[in-house]
Amino acid sequence: MKIESKTMHFTSPLYLESGRILEPYEIVYETYGELDEEKSNAILLCHALSGSHHAAGFYENDRKPGWWDAMIGPGKALDTDRFFVICSNVIGSCFGSTGPMSPVYPGEEPYRLRFPVVTVKDMIRAQRQLLSRMGIHRLRAIIGGSMGGMQALQFAVDYPNFAQTVIPLAATYATRPWVIAFNKVAVEAIRRDPRFKNGNYDRDAFSEDGLDGLAIGRIAGHISYLSPESMDSKFGRNYVATDGLFELFGRYEVERYMEYNTNNFSRIFDPLSYLYIVKAINTFNLSRGYDSLYEAVKRIRADLHLISFSGDYLFFPHEMEHLYRMMEREGRNCTYHCIDSDYGHDAFLVETEKFEHIVKDILKEG
C-alpha cells in the first residue's frame, strides 16, 4: 500500500462561518493507494476529535498504526487496490494543519486565543479547497466517525453533488446538552489549570509532564466514549494489586487505566487545540444556515448510509435513526444499521470487525 504524507499551503483566504478569515493556512494530509487517471476513485476519510491525518500504517518508531488501520489497505473495507483514500488533519488541530499554536503571518508569534473559532462547516470548507487543489471534484465516498461523521453529514448537506456515497458512523445531527456538559468538564479543567496561563504557555510546555487540566478533562471524555457494560467487562471491580484497599488513594483498575491513558494524552495533544475542537463539536448543528433540519436533509443527494452503535452513550442510536426516517420520508437512497455493541461510543474505532463488511458491501456498489 502506497502511503504519502504531505502539506498543502494556501494563500487564498478561507472565509469562516463566524465572518472571520484565515489567511494563509496549511492542511496536512495523508493518502493511501493510487488515484486513477479519471480521479474518480477518491474516498475522503474524516477524523474525530483526537484523531489526525495518520489513519493507517506505521511511522518510524510507532508502536501503534494509524487510528483506522484495520479498515484501510489492500482487501480491507477501504480497499487501496481500488480506492485512493485521503485523510486530512482538520484546521484547529495540533498535528500539522493551521491551529491556535500556528504562527500569525508574517511573524512567528502563535495565534493562541486570537485564533478564530472554527466550526465543522469551516473544516469541510477547508477540505473542499484541498481536494480542489488536488484536482478532485467528485468523491466516490466520504466516511467518518464521531466528529468525522459530523463532517461527512455536513459535506452531504452543503455540497449535495460532491460525493456518490456518504457513510457517517457514531454521529448525530446536532450536539445535545448531554455531550456539551461532558465537554464542559474538560474546558473548565484546562482553563483553571494555572499552567495553562490563559493560553500563554510555551510551545511544547507539556510534552514531558502533560497538563493536569487536560488530563482531568480527558477522563470525563473517556468515560463518555465507553459504556457501563464495557467497563464491567474490561475492569470489573478489580483492585490494583500493589495498592492497599484501605489506602485513601489506593486505586481500582479502572482508575489506573484512566490515569495512564489521560496522562499520556495530555503530553501529545495541545490544550488550545482541544478547546477549539471541542467548541466545533459543541456548535455542530446540521440545520444551521437552513430553515430547519428537514430542509437541510432534503438537500442531500448522495447515497447515505448511517451506522450507529447500540451501546453508544455519547451520540445515541435514535439520533441517527431520526435522520434515516427523514430520508425515508423523502424517498431518498438511505440505509441505517445499528450495530449490536456494548463497547460504547469508541466502538467505531475498536470493533471494526462488526461493521467492516457493511462498509465493504456499500463501496462495492456503483
CB under 8 Å to 139, separation ≥6 — which residues?
A: 42, 43, 44, 131, 162, 163, 164
Q: Which three cell numbers stand for residue 129?
A: 479547497
Give me the sign of the Cα torsion angle 241, 242, 246, 249.
Answer: negative
From CA 353, how far away is CA 88, in angstroms rounded?
Answer: 24
Contact 237, 252 (CB under 8 A): yes
Coil, strand, or helix at residue 334? strand
Q: Which residue in the list 79, 230, 345, 346 is annotated as catalytic?
A: 345
Is 305 in the active site? no
206 by Cβ neighbours in 10 Å (0-12 / 13-18 / 19+) ranks as buried
Is 9 in the active site? no
SS (H, E, C) 149-209: HHHHHHHHHHCCCCEEEEEEECCCCECCHHHHHHHHHHHHHHHCCHHHHHHCCCCCCCCCC
Q: Which residue in the list 193, 212, 312, 346 is annotated as catalytic?
A: 312
Q: Which residue in the list 146, 224, 230, 341 is annotated as catalytic?
A: 146
354 by Cβ neighbours in 10 Å (0-12 / 13-18 / 19+) ranks as middle
From CA 1, how far away is CA 73, in angstroms rounded?
Answer: 6
Q: Which three cell numbers stand for residue 269?
A: 495533544
Biggest CA-to-CA distance, the chain? 68
Coil, strand, or helix at residue 339? strand
Is 340 in the active site? no
Residue with cell 423523502: 330
User: Annotated active-site positions, please?
Assistant: 146, 312, 345
